[in-house]
Amino acid sequence: MMFLEYSLIGIAAGGIYGLLALGFVFIFMASGVFNFATGQMMMLGAYFFLAFSKIPGLPWWAAFALAILGSIVVAIILEWVVIRRLIGQPVISAVMVTMGLGWMLQGTASLIWGQVPQQLPDVLPRAPIFIGEILVPGRSVWGFVIAIAVALASVVYFRYSRTGVALRATASDQITAYSMGINVPASIRLTWIMAAISTTFAGVIAGSINGVTPELSNVAISVIAVVLLGGVNSVGGVIIAGLMMGWLETISGVYLGGHWREVIPYLAVLLVLLVRPSGLFGSKLVERI
Amino acid sequence: MVSPAVDRLGAQSPSQPLLEVADVTLTFGGLHALSGVSVEFEEGTINAIIGPNGAGKTTLLNVISGFYLPQQGQIRFQGRDILSMPPSARATLGIARTFQNISLYRGMSVLENIKLGAHTTLRTNVLAGGFFSRATRRQEAALTQRIKEEIAPPLRLNEYLDDPVEGLAYGIQKRIELARALALSPKLLLLDEPVAGMNSSETEEMAKLIQRVRAEWDVTIIMIEHDMSLVMGISDRVAVLSLGQTVCEGTPAQVQTHPKAIEAYLGVDDDAVTEVHA
C-alpha cells in the first residue's frame, strides 16, 4: 500500500517533468536548439505569478494570465535578440548561450526576489484525495491533472492544427518548409511561446507545492535526463518519460534514502541510452547522403 | 563593376519578362559564386540552366527562391524587386521549387505532403490554428478535392494518396515533390535536377509532365538539368552558366552550336560536350 501511495505521488510529480520536457522538445524540434534555460524560464514564470498576485484586487487567474504573458514576452525577446543570431552556428554555441541566459535569469531573479523561499498564493486545492484506499495530497493530484491537460493540449495542437502542421514541417526540414511558404522564423518563435506557456504552468504548479526560490530552476536538470530518456524528437515519449522519472526519483528516495534519488534515475537513463541511444520513444535520426 | 558581356541569341520578346535576374553577384568569403549574372525568363516558357558542376546553377536557384542574398544585383518578379523578401513570402507570390534531393516529410501520407504545399493558400490565424472552425474544414476539403481531381491524376498519384511516403519508389517520390510544388498554384516553378537518377522511360515521362504543367497550369518553368536529351528536347530557352557567369543564352539549337557553350563544357568534361552535340 505504501508502495502504491508513493508511486502515485511520484508519478504526480513527474507530470511537471513531462510538461517541462515538452517545452524543451518543441524548441529542439523546430530549431535544433537545446534550451538549457528551460528551468530558469519555469522559475521566472513562478516569480511572475508571485509578483502579479501581490497586486491588490487582482484575482489569481488574472495574475496567472499576466504571468503567462510576461513569460511569453521574455521568451520572444530571448529568441529574437539572442537565439536567432545563432542560426547556422555550431551547436555548442547555442548550448553555451542558453546556459548563460539561464544563469542570467536566475541571477536576476535572486537580485529582485532574494534567496528566501516564498509561498505562492494557494491556488491548488489542498484537500487530500482518496484514490481507492490510497490517500494522495490534493495539490499533487491537481498539479498533475493540470500539467497533463496542458501537455496533451499542446500535443493535440502540434499534431492536428494547421499551425502545428507548419511546425512539424519546420521541424522536419526547415529549407523545404521555407520554400513552401511556411514562415520558418515565425514557427520557431511560436515554439518559444509554447515553451513559455508550458514552463509557466510547470513553475506555478511546482511553486505552489514547494514554494519558490531561484533554485527552483535546478529542477530542470532532471528535465534534460527526461528528454534523453523519452527521445528528443518524441512529443508523446517525453511526457511518459517525465512520469517515469518522477516515479523513479520518489521511489528511490523513499526506499533507498534521499541521496539515492539523485543517483538512481540518472543511472536508469544511462542504462536505457546504452541500449537505445535515441531514447525509449525517439525515432532514429537517419543521416541521408 | 560592369557586368560581363553575355551573348544573347535570338529575338527577345518585347513584353515584360516574368522573372528578371539583373547583374546578380554573390560571394561566399572570397569565392565568387555568381558574378554579374543577368538572365530573363519569359512568361509561359520552359527554361533550362545548364553548365558544368560548380558553375553556380543551384546557387542561382537559391538566390531566386530567397535562400541566398546576393551582395549586388536585382531579382524582379512580375516587375517587382523581390530581393528583400524571405523565401516564404516569395512562395506566397507564386514561386515554387523542388529540390535536388528528395525532401518529402516522412511520417506523413502522400496526400498530407501535397497538402503542405498549399499551406500558404489556406488562411487561418495562429491562435485558432484552425482545427475546429467550419470555414477551415471547408477550405481543407476543397483542397483535398483539387488535389484528387486536378493535381494527382496527371502525375498518376491517385492510387498512392493515402500511403506513407517512405518506401515509395524514387520516381514516385519525385512526382510527389512536383505535386507538392504545384499545390501552391505557382506562376514560376523552379526544378533542381528533375530527372536526376531516373531511367530513360521515367525521364521521358517527366518531360511530358513538365510540358503538360506548362500548358495546362500556365506555369513558367526554370530547371537545372544535366540530362541533355531533356534540356534540348523541351526547353524554349537555355542559359549556359560557367564559373558563376552566364556565357551564352538562346534556343536549344543556338546553344548547341555556340562555341562558348562548348568551351564551357570542354574545359571540364569531354563527355558533356558530346552530350551537347547529341
CATH number of the domain bearing residue A126: 1.10.3470
Residue A51 pLDDT greater than 90, yes or no: yes
Residues 145-164 of A with CB under 8 A from B: 157, 160-164
pLDDT band at B278 (very low <50, low <70, confident <90, very high): very low
Asked whether residue A286 is assigned to any structural domain, the reply reads no
- A180 and B129 in contact by Cβ < 8 A? no
Which has more pLDDT, A156 or A106? Answer: A106
User: In this structure, what C-alpha cell is assigned to residue A84?
Assistant: 536567432
Of B99, B122, B126, the CB nearest to A176: B99
CA A227 to chain centre: 10
Mean pLDDT along residues A68-83: 94
Look up residue B34 and give its amino acid.
Answer: L
pLDDT at B60: 94
Q: What mean pLDDT, rounded, does chain B reach?
A: 84
Residue (of A173, A172, A201, A176) closest to A283 by Cα position: A172
Residue B13 pLDDT greater than 80, yes or no: no
pLDDT at A52: 95
**What letter would DSSP give residue A284?**
P
Of B106, B119, B130, the CB nearest to A181: B119
pLDDT over 90 percentage in chain A: 38
pLDDT over 70 percentage in chain A: 97
Asked whether residue A270 is assigned to any structural domain, the reply reads yes
Asked whether residue A281 is assigned to any structural domain, the reply reads no
Of A162, A169, A181, the CB nearest to B130: A162
User: In this structure, what C-alpha cell is assigned to residue B240?
Assistant: 549556359
- Helices and strands (H and E) in chain B: how many: 10, 11
Asked whether residue A288 is assigned to any structural domain, the reply reads no
Residue A224 pLDDT greater than 90, yes or no: no
**What letter would DSSP give residue A118?**
B
CA angle A15/A17/A23 to nearest 5° reads 110
- B119 and A164 in contact by Cβ < 8 A? no
Instruction: Give the total number of structural domains in chain A.
Output: 1
Asked whether residue A6 is assigned to any structural domain, the reply reads yes
Q: Return the sign of the alpha-carbon dihedral for residues A22, A23, A28, A29.
A: positive
Asked whether residue A285 is assigned to any structural domain, the reply reads no
User: In this structure, what C-alpha cell is assigned to residue B3?
Assistant: 557586368
Residue B208 pLDDT greater than 70, yes or no: yes
Asked whether residue A280 is assigned to any structural domain, the reply reads no
Residue A227 pLDDT greater than 70, yes or no: yes
Residue A186 pLDDT greater than 50, yes or no: yes
Asked whether residue A132 is assigned to any structural domain, the reply reads yes
pLDDT band at B3 (very low <50, low <70, confident <90, very high): very low
Do residues B42 and B249 touch, judged by C-beta distance below 8 A? Answer: no
Domain that holds residue A38: 2-275
> For B108, phi and psi rounded to 5 degrees?
-120, 155
Do residues B225 and B231 touch, judged by C-beta distance below 8 A? Answer: yes
Per-residue pLDDT tens digits for B183-205: 999 999 999 999 988 888 889 99
- Residues comprising chain A, all counted: 289
The C-alpha cell 501581490 sits at A54
pTM comes to 0.81
Residues 175-234 of A with CB under 8 A from B: 175-176, 178-185, 190
